[in-house]
Amino acid sequence: MLTKADIDWLKSELVPAVADEVQKRIEKKLDDVSTKLDMFVGEIKTKREEQTLHEGKHEEIDERLSKVEKHLNIPVTP
């Protein structure tokens, strides 16, 4: 059976040590998640920028094709 002295020791020594260890492990995991999330967000940003540039090229091609079709009197297809 635990005595009052044992309980006091557990409260003063063991509980803070366990709490510190848990905090360290949680911080490590959160740092890992944060790092991976930053990488993922960066990749998404890059893809969106690439997609915007790609869409711009489509618009240029569509405009150019329209001019050629108009110049050659080619009927526009939907």
For the chain, the distance separating the N- and C-terminal CA atoms, rounded to the nearest angstrom, is 86
74 located within any domain: no
> 66, 58 in Cβ contact below 8 A?
no
pTM, full prediction? 0.52
Residue 64 confidence (pLDDT): 93
The pair of structure tokens assigned to 3 is 């005595």
17 located within any domain: no
Residue-number span of the structural domain to which 35 is assigned:
22-68
The pair of structure tokens assigned to 27 is 């911080």
11 located within any domain: no
Total domains, the chain? 1
Q: Secondary structure of the chain: what % helix, strand, coil (to 5)? A: 85, 0, 15
pLDDT in tens, 41-66: 999 999 999 998 888 888 899 999 99
- Which phi and psi (to 5°) does residue 2 adopt? -80, 140
63 located within any domain: yes
